[in-house]
Amino acid sequence: MLPNFSSFLLFLAGAMILLAIPGPAVFYILSRTIGQGRLAGVVSAAGIAVGTLFHVAAAILGLSALLASSARAFYIVKYLGAAYLVFLGVRLLLSRNTPEIQGSENGHSLRRIFAQGVLGNLLNPKTALFFLAFLPQFVDPARGHVSAQIFFLGTSFALLGLGSDSSWALLAGTFAEKLRSNLRWRRAQKNISGSALIALGLATAFSGAHAKTK
């Protein structure tokens, strides 16, 4: 059974409000778009959407409840995700080649960008905690098939997120194309993108220290 129509409309409104607020995923997509072009940003958005689907499955299986109730599990996933973002930023800063926007045309590069989007979102405990706190508000146990309701709502959120994140990528890509011929920008953007990823990783590591414990 699916959630009733009024609850679903309320869920869509809440999801759209949350997605309109720039967060770690948006900054990651902007960084990729500015560094490697619009296509790389859209691929990053697709990877993040797939990572969201893993969290949907985790919510169904009860992993979200585990992260909320176990401080150790929360911090393990939290710091793994933060370390991964810092690693991406450091690797970008240490790379010798000046990034080219056209470089995202390479198939292997796009697969890697997609995988990074999946893994980055998969290792974000806040996404799991979000599903634990947000989705149950729109699930009606009296209608039965709670798992099916969670799947429907979670998949809807992932699709909305894909559309929202892709819009950020397209917008950033417009400005990136205008800066394509600027050699000084191409040299500076590597440092800007790498520093942004590191700052994002550190912010993730040191935020939300008041994780729920039992």
- Report pLDDT digits (tens) over 58-117: 878 775 566 567 767 766 766 777 787 788 788 878 876 654 444 444 444 888 899 989
pLDDT at 157: 92
pLDDT at 66: 61
CB 202 within 8 A of CB 33: no
d(C-alpha 93, C-alpha 194), whole Å: 5
Tally of CB atoms within 10 A around 52: 26
**What pTM, to 2 d.p., does this model score?**
0.66
Q: Which amino acid is at 62?
A: G
Q: Output the six-digit token pair for 202.
A: 């550190």
State which residues of the chain have pLDDT below 70: 1, 21-23, 63-68, 71, 74-75, 77-78, 96-108, 126, 129-130, 132-133, 141, 175-189, 193, 204-205, 207-214
Closest-CA residue to 28 (of 178, 160, 199, 151): 199
